[in-house]
Amino acid sequence: MFRLLSIEFHKLKNSKSSKILSIIYFVLFCFIALFASIRFNFGSIDFRVADQGIFNFPYIWHFNTYFLAFLKLFLAIVIVSMMSSEYTNRTLKQNLIDGLSKEEFILSKFYSILVFALASTILVFLVSMVLGLIFSDYDEIDIIFSEMEYLPAYFVKLTGFFSLCMFFGILLKRSAFALGFLFLLWIFEGIIQLVVRFQAKSLDFIVDFLPLQSMSNLIVEPITKLSTIKSAASQINPGFEKDYDVSWFGMLIVVVWTLIFVYGSYNLLKRRDL
Amino acid sequence: METILKIDELTKKFGNLVAVDRLSFEIEKGNVYGILGPNGSGKSTTLGMVLNVVNKTSGNFSWFNGNKQTHEALKKVGAIIESPNFYPSMSAEDNLKLVCKIKGVDYSKIDEKLEIVNLLDRKKHSFKSYSLGMKQRLAIASALLNDPEILILDEPTNGLDPQGIHQIREIIKNIAADGMTILLASHLLDEVEKVCSHVVVIRNGVKLYSGLVDQMNATHGFFEVKSNDRIKLEDFLSNHPKIEKFTELEDNLYKAFLDSPYDSQKFNEEAFAKGVIFSHLVQRKDSLEEQFLQLTNQK
């Protein structure tokens, strides 16, 4: 495993675009968190995002994992290009000739996906911890470490998404096509959801099994959970009730998708003549 | 003799097209083999199959008597196919480090092999700044990194300028002189003739000849003869015990094939005794090129 990781890391380390994108990703990550703590002064309006209660433990775990997950697109580009550049430079062929098996090739990519997802999860943890300790109104130990299931959910979500990127990268061999296809899949899932919602209510359960939707289901939007907005919402609609918890079944769906994408990538590679 | 690679009835079909048709041959340690065939004859596909990048349709091949899985065996093989493939933004040294990691070889080999191909002073430069000749030499260094049991070269001089071709050939000759087993695929005859001891000729995926290069050339030669009296000449040729067959090339010019070695002076004397006077007599052998064209033009 370490041999494969060191092979993959050697490739990433020496690729300028991957390096720059990864750095942008991790810098932006910290920047966004910092941004929230800036105090805005527009004449009479004195506003600070951090004072709105979003950095209270344990709410911060939910809030940060939800919003920082959008940045995964940067890493998605890195992953797609690390797959497709192997095709365009024909280095995949050379790797195989040099004695890497197809299985090892896919595994080396998947391991680096796991490392990326893990690094990002650790960063989310650290950033949230620091922001929380600075701004949170509650700082009792058992409150700080409660509701942390959003972190494993975040990890599973990223791993699933990156596996999907890897699969598209292998399937289409060109980064631009793969990213375009990702966008198409997103639109396609949107259409299915609309159709199901308005035309075939009984098929509603299908929606939760779509790859992108199942990933986004893992961490439900945290906005309406915020106390100020929650009270407003319950005035408009007294019956407003939403489940914000991470569902284990939802996690399982994403894990199964991840396995399908990894195995699918392997199978594609195995069947193809290079 | 130790067998390095054994190919048995190997077949590859792309849809209806049969690219390689039940090809069988063996490669033994210490020899230099050439695979000779026109463009599109299935050379690269054959190499692709044994190198794990093209899936075979049927048949078998085994490396080192089949003791190892293909990708494990490939760690003891050095191969370059078609164009040199490396990571463009990495330096030569970093590219070779990566190959070391894959093959499980120590980094200390890198400088040694770069020295052989004369690229040591350029090792810090990125691969994309290299000329085609340098890229190809880097590919050879990369293939040699693990001190392989066999070196496989697919069209190593393709697209190079005369100087580049000369450099590559010198390198190959030096490696061959050290006793390494080499498999060289090429459509260039003189290349094969100069470095190989054994040859496999294929066309449209079918094996036409396999054996020693010398034996491919081992007909006993022929006489080219011309005489003004064609009836007497034909009579003489058809009755001569050493002449296997003869054909008329052009007006009164005949090509007479020998079935065993024969002396031209004696041949001339015999003809003169029978009243046949040659106005033209040449004894020679087909060049490898003519042999090859004959082989590949056969239906």
pLDDT, position A270: 93
Cα four-point dihedral sign B246, B249, B251, B255: negative
| Chain B contacts to A (CB-CB under 8 A) | 14, 48, 51-55, 69-72, 74-75, 77, 79, 81, 83, 85-91, 94, 97-99, 101-104, 142
Average pLDDT, chain A: 86
Residue of A nearest to B142 (CA): A98
The residue among B233 and B152 whose pLDDT is bigger is B152
Query: Can you give the pLDDT at residue B99?
Result: 93
For the cut 70, the answer to whether the pLDDT of residue B214 exceeds it is yes
At residue A45, the pLDDT reads 66
CB B99 within 8 A of CB B173: no
Range ranked top by mean pLDDT from A159-173, A235-249, B25-39, B77-91: A159-173
Chain A interface with B: residues with Cβ < 8 Å: 3, 6-7, 10-11, 14-16, 89-91, 93-102, 104, 270-274
Interatomic CA distance for residues A15 and A4, integer angstroms: 17
What is the per-residue pLDDT for B243? 83
Which residue does chain A place closest to B49, by CA atoms? A273
Best CA proximity match to B186, nearest among B19, B9, B21, B33: B33
**SS3 letters for chain B?**
CCEEEEEEEEEEEECCEEEEEEEEEEEECCCEEEEECCCCCCHHHHHHHHCCCCCCCEEEEEEHHHCCCHHHHHHHEEEECCCCCCCCCCEHHHHHHHHHHHHCCCCCHHHHHHHHCCCHHHCCCEHHHCCHHHHHHHHHHHHHCCCCCEEEEECCCCCCCHHHHHHHHHHHHHHHHCCCEEEEEECCHHHHHHHCCEEEEEECCEEEEEEEHHHHCCCCCEEEEEECCHHHHHHHHHHCCCEEEEEEEECCEEEEEECCCCCHHHHHHHHHHCCCCEEEEEEECCCHHHHHHHHHHCC
In angstroms, rounded to a whole number, what is the distance separating the alpha carbons of residues A158 and A117? 6
- Output the CATH code of domain B222-297: 3.30.70
Asked if residue B150 lies in contact with residue B78, where contact means CB atoms within 8 angstroms, the answer is yes
Give per-residue pLDDT as tens, A189-235: 999 988 888 887 777 788 889 999 999 988 888 877 776 666 676 67
Q: What ipTM was assigned to the predicted interfaces of this complex?
A: 0.84
| pTM of the predicted structure, to 2 decimals | 0.84
Contact A99 B74 (CB under 8 A): yes
Q: Specify the pLDDT at position A241.
A: 66
CATH superfamily name and code, B3-216: P-loop containing nucleotide triphosphate hydrolases (3.40.50.300)
pLDDT category, A257, cuts 50, 70, 90?
very high
Q: How far apart (Å, rounded) are the C-alpha atoms in residues B122 and B286?
A: 45
Looking at residue A118, its pLDDT comes to 95
| Dihedral Cα B59, B65, B70, B76, nearest 10 deg | -140
What is the band of A152 on the pLDDT scale with cuts at 50, 70, 90? very high
- In chain B, CATH 3.40.50.300 covers 3-216
Q: What is the predicted pLDDT for the residue at A40? A: 64
- CB of B148 closer than 8 Å to CB of B78: yes
* pLDDT tens digits for range A115-151: 999 999 999 999 888 888 888 888 788 888 888 889 9
Q: How many CB pairs under 8 A join A and B?
A: 79
Q: Is the bond leading into B84 cis (omega within 30 degrees of zero)?
A: no
Let me know: does B142 contact B171? Beta carbons within 8 Å: no
- Rounded to whole angstroms, how far apart are CA atoms B95 and B100? 9
**Type of residue found at A5:** L
Inter-chain touch B103–A273, beta carbons under 8 Å:
no
Q: Where in chain B is the domain with CATH 3.30.70?
A: 222-297
pLDDT band at B251 (very low <50, low <70, confident <90, very high): confident
CB contact under 8 A, A99 and B77: yes
Residues of B in contact with A90 (CB under 8 A): 83, 85
Per-residue pLDDT band at A57 (split at 50, 70, 90): confident
Q: Give the mean model confidence (pLDDT) for residues A7-28.
A: 86
Q: Among A220, A219, A209, A202, which residue's Cα sits nearest to residue A252? A: A209
Q: Name the residue ranges covered by the structural domains of chain A.
A: 2-271
List of chain A residues whose C-beta atoms are within 8 Å of the C-beta of residue B54: 273-274
Name the residue with tokens 């489940």: A243
Q: Which of B54, B79, B85 has its CB closest to that of A90? A: B85
Give the pairing type, strands B253-258 and B243-250. antiparallel
